[in-house]
Amino acid sequence: MAQPAGEQKQVRREARAGNVLPLRQLEQKVLPMMGGAQYLGPEYDPTVMVYRLKFIREGRVIFVDIDARSGDILRQSR
C-alpha cells in the first residue's frame, strides 16, 4: 500500500528532524509480534504522528497503531 507523495515527504522531513522514529525501526518492533500475519503496509497520519501498520491473518484485517515519536503501540485491532 503506497503512501501519498505529500505524506511521504512530510514523514521524511519529520524523521530527518528527529521528530519521529524511522518506519523501518517501528516495523522491526511490530513484525515479530504478528506471528503468521501477512504485512500489507503502513499508513501515516501526520496530524497526530501515528503510523498504522496493516496486517491480514486468516482473512481478518488487523491494524496496529504506533506513536511515531516514541514507538509505543497505542492500539491493536483484533
Q: DSSP characters for 24-52? A: HHHHHHHGGGGTTPEEEEEEEETTTTEEE
Q: How far apart are CA 78 and CA 58, in angstroms?
A: 12
SS3 76: strand
pTM: 0.82
Question: How high is the pLDDT of residue 1?
Answer: 46
Residue 14 is predicted with a pLDDT of: 80
The grid cell for 23 is: 518506519
* C-alpha closest to that of 61 among 76, 74, 71: 76
pLDDT tens profile 12-67:
788 788 889 999 999 999 999 998 899 999 999 988 999 999 999 999 999 999 99
Confidence at residue 66, expressed as pLDDT on a 0 to 100 scale: 98
Better pLDDT: 78 or 77: 77
The Cα 12–Cα 16 span in angstroms is 6
Structural domains in the chain? Answer: 5-76 (3.10.450)
